[in-house]
Amino acid sequence: MDMIQLIDLTKIYRGLKAVDRVNLDIEKGLCFGFLGPNGAGKTTTIRMMAGVLKPTGGRIILNGHDLAKVPSEAKQCVGFIPDRPFLYEKLTGLEFLQFVAVLYGLGPSPSLEGEIRELLELFELSAWREELIESYSHGMKQRLVMCSALIHRPQILLVDEPMVGLDPKGARLVKDIFRDQTSGGKTIFMSTHSLQVAEEVCDEVAIIQEGRIIARGTTGELRRQAGMDGNLEDLFLRLTQEGD
């Protein structure tokens, strides 16, 4: 079953096509990497999928729910981790997680408190749970956003540049968590600049350039398509240069 379907997804900003009729279908349990140079349309696509931006055209179907027709049901299945962790600076980490949990329909309960405690421990934020978010470092905020995205156990994780601001320990932790999630049947759609991360974590990747998908497949398939043996970086550079 396809957990994510993008059908002719298009976004036009003041006459500029940021995303141009993108079509993708992603199976359950996959970690899907979304690669592309700066300004290619990665963040715009993810923000449309998260329901933060309204598409100019096309459809987004998440776990069988059309985002335009039944946004609440579609969003209920999704956890979104943006590239920049803008949060409510005057809330504590704990208050923020409780706030997000209720937004996703989880009532205050002992099981929720236990869930929050576990997530904070997992992301090594327990000692900071009672502190205002404004005193967190960038990496801590990023980890807090990840906690909030996982709190309602979403079927789909949308992740925009997950490793920005994380130290090597944090980056390793996140990669392990992503692997755990996909092995548990969750689907991850992840944009990244880091080809190393894509190679390590993703089952399949797509490359977007100037708003269009120019290649898609496993890294092995892409190598075969491009007729080369090098690493993903060589492949990426070759494909995006051809696109130019």
Partner 1 sequence: MEDLLILLRPRLLGLKNSLTRHEGPGGKKILVMVGLGLAFSGGMFLLLCRVLAYFQSVQLIGDILARQLLSMVLLTFFSMLIFSNLITALSNLYLSKDLELCHCTPVSVEEIFISRAAFTFVDSSWMLIIFALPIFLAYGYVYEPGVWFYFSALHMNLGMAIIASSAGILVTMILVHLFPAQRTKDIILLLSVVMVVALYLLFRFLRPERLVNPEAFFGVAEYLSALKAPESALLPTHWIAEALWSFLDPLGDTRTVDTGFAAILVWTTALSGMVINVWVAHFIYFDGFSKSREAKKRLRSGRRFLDLVTGALSRPFRKDLAVILSKDIRVFFRDNTQWSQLLLLGALVVVYLYNFSVLPLDKSPIRIDFLQNELAFLNMGLAGFVLSALCARFVFTAVSAEGEAYWIIRSSPMGLRRYLWGKYIFSLIPVVILAELLIVATNCLLEVSLFMMVLSSVTIFVMSTGIVALGIGFGAIHPKFRHENIGQVATGAGGFLYMVAASIFVGLVIILEAGPVYVLFMYQVKGREIGPWEWLFILLSFAGAAVICAIAVLKPMKMGVKALGDYDG
Q: Which positions touch partner 1 (CB under 8 A)? A: 13, 47, 50-54, 71-73, 75-76, 78, 80, 82, 84, 86-88, 90-92, 95, 98-100, 102-105, 107-108, 130-132, 134-135, 148
Instruction: List residues bridging with 4 in a β-sheet.
Output: 26, 62
Sequence-ordered list of residues with C-beta below 8 angstroms from that of 105, at least 6 positions apart, any chain: 76, 152
Q: Can you point out the beta strands (E) in 14-113?
A: 16-27, 31-35, 57-62, 65-66, 78-81
- Closest to partner 1 by CB, 10 or 92: 92
φ, ψ of residue 96 to 5 degrees: the values are -65, -45
Task: Give min distance, CB of 131 to partner 1, in A.
Answer: 5
- Closest to partner 1 by CB, 152 or 223: 152
- Closest to partner 1 by CB, 102 or 237: 102
164 HSE (CA, 13 A, CB side): 14
State the burial class of residue 104 (Cβ atoms within 10 Å of its Cβ: 0-12, 13-18, 19+).
middle
Task: Give min distance, CB of 101 to partner 1, in A.
Answer: 8
- Closest to partner 1 by CB, 110 or 227: 110
Strand (E) or helix (H) holding 139: helix 138-150
- Closest to partner 1 by CB, 94 or 174: 94
Collapse the DSSP code of 117 into the 3-class scheme (helix H, G, I; strand E, B; otherwise coil) and give the result.
helix
Task: Give min distance, CB of 133 to partner 1, in A.
Answer: 9
- Closest to partner 1 by CB, 68 or 177: 68
Task: Give min distance, CB of 56 to partner 1, in A.
Answer: 10
φ, ψ of residue 236 to 5 degrees: the values are -60, -50
Collapse the DSSP code of 166 into the 3-class scheme (helix H, G, I; strand E, B; otherwise coil) and give the result.
coil
Task: Give min distance, CB of 108 to partner 1, in A.
Answer: 8
Task: Give min distance, CB of 85 to partner 1, in A.
Answer: 9
